[in-house]
Structure 1
Amino acid sequence: MLGLILSFGPGIFAIGYTIGTGSVTSMTVAGSTYGMQLLWVLVLSCLFSGVLIYAYGQYALVTGETGLFAFRKHLKYGKLMALLVLVGISFGQWNSLMGILGISASIVQEILAIYIPVIKTIGINVVFIIAAVIIVTMYLLLLKGKYTFFEKILVIFVTIMGFSFLFSLFLVHPLPVEVIQGLIPSIPQVEGGKMMVAAFVGTTMASATFLSRPLFVKGKGWTLEANGAQQKKDAIIAAILVFAISGAIMAVACGALFHEGRGVKTVLDMVGILEPVAGKFALTLFFFGTLSAGLSSIFPCLLIAPILLADYQSGTLDTKSKQFKTITAIACLFALIGPAIGANAIEVQILSQVFNVFVLPLVVAGILYLMNFTAVMAKHRPHWTLNLIMGAAFLFACVISYNGIVALVQYFSII
């Protein structure tokens, strides 16, 4: 079993980017507030994500080029497009990192407080101290600077997260008819409904996941001849696991809280609400899954800016370079701002997820063009079915981006 888990490929980074505390928060809020109504959004996001993970990985195997480097090299306005994507994703991921760190530190405090209540009466900023310990530890691990090491650390976190949430689903679950009804497309016609849909897609169909794929495939040392089928299988497994884990989180929140009419605004709200319903053990299990989700996302979020910059510059990532160490150090300091000033980590997190959808149409359009660029792909151009799904993904991304703009306008007009 352990050997099977450790044999998982670069798809583990897709799970790390996709399922973090922001994703857990979105699924928890959606499940407790709307039941399984948004399950169809999760299905489409995971389907399109799996296809795009495969497409970017396949392009890298065929050409040896990475995403942003290829944009800059082959597209007419590719340099501007690549810069917009680089800045947009880095901005969204760094803001998300701030929220992830704040929530993860708060969860550690809450887990300790379940068994040691006195910890909440200490007159110091415990959350900041925990956040500092977490981020310094992660930075020191990053200095190890080897792809295989990053992958194994992520495997541990993701495995704990997956088992925690899936086991929680056996303890608390929704009605089967609710799951079926959730596959029928509909948007909650209430305040915040559009924002939740945009946040769903922003966290599940993440541009960072697709653009980082070529560099991780190259870091793994894969080639088209030896690993073409494995790359496809890895992308499919990643998409299935993202759906299974995310769906389990939504289902647990729906089964435990939706019928009680007890919606939650944050994961931390579940401390007082979920324990009487599911018991202390299930609550602790859910929280360890959430913490693992946060820790598994910190690594990829720290990596994203140097990854994209290296992608743009040369298509090669040097984890031993001064540039890599400097950018990741700045990201660590940036992440501590939220816990230091006591910012609302949940609000930062959901807003950053919404912002993530704005570069998504560019990322999808870019790979759709490159995969069909005869001069580069030659006989390896995609089948019409793959083109059809990528075209649908582009239309979906455009609709969700528009929906995100409307949601943000409504949000800031209320403020």
Structure 2
Amino acid sequence: MKSRFWNYIFWLIIAAAFIGPGTVTTAASAGAGHGLQLLWALLFSTLACMVVQEAAARVAIVSGRSLGQAILARYSNVTFVWFIGISIFLGCLAYEAGNMLGAISGLALLNLAIPQWVFTSIIAVSSFLLLYFEKTRLVPQLLGAMVAIMGIGLFYAALSVPADWSGLAFGLFAPQLPEGSTLLVLGLIGTTIVPYNIFLGSGLAEGKELRSVRSGLVFSIALGGLVSMAVLVVGTSISGDFSFERLYEQLVAQHGQIMGYVFAFGLFGAGFTSTITAALAGALTIKSVHKAGAGWTEKTGKFKALWATIIVVGFAFGVSGVKPIPVIIAAQAANGLILPVLTFALCVLCNGKTMGSYTNSFWLNTAMFITLFVTSIIGLINVFKAFHTMFQESFSFSGINQWIIIGLSAAVLLFTYFQVRKERKLNI
């Protein structure tokens, strides 16, 4: 029982990685703008996240290779694997400042008369020290405690919202797209199924027992999904556009100052944990795709240099207040392609001969195909948005854009289906 408990605590790092300021913003905005109607998107993304994360961990454990090396062994294409690795690393670099600033947003709600650069420095130095001194047990415990505190507070606030059980059931199990909600739905899915989390989970699973990894991942992702749903429910009590300040004031008005403190600390925890996990995930991703990465440990100078680079760059942009717009645009476009590419690779790998008796079942393949189709749509939307931003144009998922994106996503799905059929025939 003790071993199982610590296993669950360890894997809370995955929930902490995707519950960041962006998740809080997107989920609360969905609740404020559309009530309970978009809960189904969080239910879908939580289940899809379980499917993808489990597949990545299974490949690493059964094959005995990191995810990047498993992909390289299957396709023998170094460029393909490095494209994935560098794109994810760039994404971690580009969004690290956002993680730090999100953490500061939580502290700012407390009206502390301390300059922003001081908080940014504390967050950066704390993240650096935790990773430098290899506190592999302390980090998951710390992240788990912060997620738990935020989750308990948000669950309490969500339960205090007047119950609409029919609306809750309808929102969860009857997919609907209210007018103007399409990009918000895709945002809810995109903030839950995160490319660097796939490498993070796979890297942490190496050398572990599959059964315990599965149970830990399912527990962590389910808890993260429930916290996201609680944020959405709390968001329904906000009138007008969402902001951290407005949600904070609403919680204080309804539940007292203590709930305001819980939310402020929880928002800080969400940003702080994402700061640590983004840096760690970026390092694990490059370790996975590098041919010499298998020999790297947490004590290796090259490994430390990778996560340190992410923290330093995030700190520099956080202190300066300058947003790395060109890097963010490039990272959005690249990461938009990464998620469906990774899902495609996992579909093929999980049906390969090297998986033996651990190949995908019919139902797992079905779940992965559905996930691939949705992530392809998300990915292509991010690419289209990035290009529109480059030319200073607004993007709308409608008209010709919508048909092109859906058509290309259907083509990706069909291509993957035939690749999986070919892979399974080779196993006979």
TM bracket (short chain): 0.7 to 0.9
Kindly indicate whether residue 297 of structure 2 is the aligned counterpart of residue 307 of structure 1: no
| Alignment gaps of 5+ in structure 1 | none
Q: Which amino acid aligns with 2:15?
A: I
Kindly indicate whether residue 94 of structure 2 is the aligned counterpart of residue 95 of structure 1: yes
The answer (yes or no) to whether the contact 1:146–1:319 under 8 Å persists in 2 is: no
Tell me what 1:413 maps to.
Answer: 393
Structure 1 distance, partners of 2:176, 2:306, is 41
Deviation readout 1:361-399 (Å, 9 max, x if unpaired)? 01111111111111x112321222111111111111112
Tell me what 1:282 maps to.
Answer: 259
Tell me what 2:348 maps to.
Answer: 369
Q: Mean alpha-carbon deviation: is it higher for 169-178 or for 315-324?
A: 169-178
Q: Mean alpha-carbon deviation: is it higher for 309-318 or for 360-369?
A: 309-318
| Alignment gaps of 5+ in structure 2 | 396-428
Do the aligned partners of residues 3 and 252 (structure 1) sit closer, same or farther apart at CA in structure 2, a change above 3 Å counting? farther
Tell me what 1:397 maps to.
Answer: 375
Tell me what 1:247 maps to.
Answer: 229
Do the aligned partners of residues 81 and 201 (structure 1) sit closer, same or farther apart at CA in structure 2, a change above 3 Å counting? farther
Deviation readout 1:25-47 (Å, 9 max, x if unpaired)? 11122211222222121111111
Deviation readout 1:91-137 (Å, 9 max, x if unpaired)? 222222211101211321322x2xx6xx2xx7xxx112111111111
Kindly indicate whether residue 360 of structure 2 is the aligned counterpart of residue 360 of structure 1: no
Deviation of 1:246 after TM superposition, in Å, equals 0.4
Tell me what 1:57 maps to.
Answer: 57
Structure 2 distance, partners of 1:174, 1:196, is 24
Kindly indicate whether residue 177 of structure 2 is the aligned counterpart of residue 178 of structure 1: no
Kindly indicate whether residue 207 of structure 2 is the aligned counterpart of residue 229 of structure 1: no
The 5 Å alignment of 1:44-123 reads 44-76=44-76, 78-111=77-110, 113=111, 119=113
The answer (yes or no) to whether the contact 1:69–1:312 under 8 Å persists in 2 is: yes
The answer (yes or no) to whether the contact 1:199–1:353 under 8 Å persists in 2 is: no
The answer (yes or no) to whether the contact 2:31–2:234 under 8 Å persists in 1 is: yes
Deviation readout 1:285-312 (Å, 9 max, x if unpaired)? 2222222212221211111221111111
Deviation of 1:232 after TM superposition, in Å, equals 2.1
Q: How many residues align?
A: 388
Q: Which amino acid aligns with 2:101?
A: G
TM-score, normalization by structure 2 = 0.82
Tell me what 1:145 maps to.
Answer: 134
Q: Percent identity?
A: 20
Do the aligned partners of residues 249 and 378 (structure 1) sit closer, same or farther apart at CA in structure 2, a change above 3 Å counting? same
Do the aligned partners of residues 407 and 275 (structure 1) sit closer, same or farther apart at CA in structure 2, a change above 3 Å counting? farther
Kindly indicate whether residue 189 of structure 2 is the aligned counterpart of residue 201 of structure 1: yes
Do the aligned partners of residues 285 and 88 (structure 1) sit closer, same or farther apart at CA in structure 2, a change above 3 Å counting? same
Tell me what 1:32 maps to.
Answer: 32
Picking from 148, 151, 176, the partner of 1:159 is 148
Deviation readout 1:203-259 (Å, 9 max, x if unpaired)? 1011212222222012xx42xxxx3322222222122112111000111111x21xx
TM-score, normalization by structure 1 = 0.84
Tell me what 1:189 maps to.
Answer: 179
Deviation of 1:328 after TM superposition, in Å, equals 2.2
Structure 1 distance, partners of 2:331, 2:177, is 21
The answer (yes or no) to whether the contact 1:89–1:207 under 8 Å persists in 2 is: yes
Kindly indicate whether residue 274 of structure 2 is the aligned counterpart of residue 297 of structure 1: yes
The 5 Å alignment of 1:330-341 reads 330-341=309-320
Paired residue secondary structure (2:137) = helix
Do the aligned partners of residues 17 and 45 (structure 1) sit closer, same or farther apart at CA in structure 2, a change above 3 Å counting? same
Picking from 307, 327, 346, the partner of 2:306 is 327
Do the aligned partners of residues 409 and 189 (structure 1) sit closer, same or farther apart at CA in structure 2, a change above 3 Å counting? farther
Paired residue secondary structure (1:204) = coil
The answer (yes or no) to whether the contact 2:332–2:383 under 8 Å persists in 1 is: no
Structure 2 distance, partners of 1:369, 1:253, is 39
Structure 2 distance, partners of 1:320, 1:149, is 16
Deviation of 1:7 after TM superposition, in Å, equals 3.8
